[in-house]
Amino acid sequence: MISVKSEREIDLMRQAGIIIGTTHNALRDFIKPGVTTLQIDALAEKMIRDMGATPSFKGLYNFPNAACVSVNEELVHGIPSHRVLKQGDVVSVDLGACVNGYHGDSAWSYAVGQVSEEVRRLLDVTKEALRQGLLQAKAGNRLGDICHAIGAYVNAQGMSVPSDYTGHGIGRAVHEDPNIPNYGTPGTGIKLKEGMTLAIEPMVHLGRPFTKTLANGFTVTPSDGSLTAHYEHTIVIRKEGFEILTKNWEDSYFG
Ligand code: MG
Ligand code: MG
C-alpha cells in the first residue's frame, strides 16, 4: 500500500532530511585522499546523533554501521572499514536519519581529490539522471514517467542502471511501497498523488547492468567490476512538482 503523508508527517521527514543534508555538506569538505571509509561513517553518525536523530541504517537488515560507504566499483551497501581513500576514487555515501519515527534517505557520490575525465562524467550523468527523474515527479504523472526518464537518459549516455536495485517509498519505514526502478515505461504504474514521499535514487554503472553481492552479504557491485555512482533524494510529491526534503549544497542544481 502506498501511503499519503500529512503535513505533520512531512515536517518530521523534512527535519530528518535537513539533518542528512547538513551531514552531506560536512562530508563534502571532509572527504579527501587519506580518509578511511570508517572515518566517514563515524563523522556521519556523530552528526546525525548530535542533531537529535538516529541513524536509520544502523541495524536495518543487520547492517553494522550508520552510513553505507561504497568505493569505485562498489555500487551500494558498502561496509565502512579501514580502507583508505585514494586520489581518483569515487565514493558514494548513503545516509538515513529518523526523527520521531519518520525517515529521510539520501545518497551522494564524491570525487576524491582529482579524478579522471571518466569519473567526472559518471558523476555528472548520475546527478543529471536524478534531475531528469525529479522533473517527472508531480501529481497526476505516473510512476513509470520517473523511472523511464532516469533509465532513458542514462542509457543514452552509454551507461547502464542496475536491474535489481531500486528507489522506494519512504516514511514510517525506510523502505515502503512502491519500488521505483531506474528504468520503465512512461504512462504506466501508479498515479502520483500529493503527499506521497519517495526516495528517488539513480544508480549508474559505467559498464553493464548486471550485479552481484560480495561475500560479506551486503555490498553490491556490477558483475563486470565497472565504476559506479549513486545520487538519491527523498522528496514529497506536490501539485505542481516536488519538494526535496534532503536538501544539500547542490540544491540549486535541481531547480
Ligand atoms: Mg539511500
Ligand atoms: Mg533509498
Task: Give 112-132 pLDDT, tens digit per residue.
Answer: 999 999 999 999 999 999 999
Span from the CA of 133 to the centroid of ligand 1 (angstroms): 16
Residue 255 has pLDDT above 90, yes or no: no
User: Which residues are CB-contacts of 145 (< 8 A; sequence separation ≥ 6)?
Assistant: 136, 186, 187, 189
Can you give the CATH number for the domain in which 115 is found?
Answer: 3.90.230.10
Closest CA to 68 of 198, 232, 224, 210: 232
The predicted structure's pLDDT at residue 49? 98
Distance 157 CA to ligand 1 centre (A): 24
Distance 199 CA to ligand 2 centre (A): 5
CB count within 10 Å of CB 81 equals 14
In angstroms, what is the span from residue 232 Cα to ligand 1's centroid?
6
Give the pLDDT confidence score for residue 1 in this predicted structure: 83
Closest listed residue to residue 151, CA positions, set 164, 178, 133, 139: 133
Report the share of the chain in percent with pLDDT over 70. 100
Is residue 91 domain-resident?
yes
* Amino acid 23: pLDDT: 98
Segments forming the whole domain that contains residue 73 = 7-254
In the reported structure, the alpha carbon of residue 116 is separated from the centroid of ligand 1 by a whole-number distance in angstroms of 25
pLDDT at 52: 98
The pLDDT-based confidence of 154 (bands split at 50, 70, 90) is very high
Q: How many domains does the chain have?
A: 1
Domain membership of residue 89 (yes or no) is yes
pLDDT confidence of residue 75 = 94
Is 14 part of a structural domain of the chain?
A: yes
The DSSP output letter for 185 is: -
Whether 135 has a pLDDT exceeding 90, the answer reads yes
State in Å: Cα 167 to ligand 2 middle: 5
pLDDT at residue number 244: 98
Measured from the alpha carbon of residue 168, the closest ligand is: 2
Q: Specify if 1 maps to a domain.
A: no
Pull the grid cell for residue 153.
537518459
- Give me the mean pLDDT over the 137-157 stretch: 98
H or E stretch covering 28? helix 7-30
CA separation for the pair 44, 19 (Å, rounded): 10
Q: Is residue 236 part of a domain?
A: yes
In the structure grid, which three cell numbers stand for residue 76, read together?
551500494
Q: What's the chain's average pLDDT?
A: 97
Closest CA to 78 of 220, 205, 204, 174: 220
pLDDT higher than 90, residue 197 = yes
Instruction: Measure 95 CA to ligand 1 centroid, in angstroms.
Output: 6
List, as ranges, residues with CB under 5 A of the ion ligand 1. 94, 105, 107, 232
Is residue 190 within 8 A of residue 183, CB to CB? The reply is no
The answer to whether residue 148 sits within a structural domain is: yes
Q: How close is the Cα of 104 to the center of ligand 2, in Å?
A: 9
Residue 25 grid coordinates = 555538506
pLDDT band at 177 (very low <50, low <70, confident <90, very high): very high
Residue 2 counted as domain residue: no
Distance CA 98, CA 39 (A): 21
- Establish if 26 belongs to a structural domain: yes
Tell me the mean pLDDT in the region 175-191.
98
Span from the CA of 121 to the centroid of ligand 1 (angstroms): 22
Span from the CA of 57 to the centroid of ligand 1 (angstroms):
9
Q: How far out from the chain centre does Cα 175 lie?
A: 13
Encode pLDDT of 52-102 as tens digits.
999 999 999 999 999 999 999 999 999 999 999 999 999 999 999 999 999
**Nearest CA to 206 among 96, 125, 134?**
125
For residue 43, give every residue at least 6 positions away whose Cβ sits within 8 Å of its Cβ, in sequence order, or none. 23, 26, 27, 30
Strands (E), the chain: 54-55, 67-71, 90-99, 102-111, 167-169, 176-180, 197-200, 203-205, 211-213, 220-222, 228-230, 233-237, 242-244
Residue length of the chain: 255
34 — pLDDT class (breaks 50, 70, 90)? very high
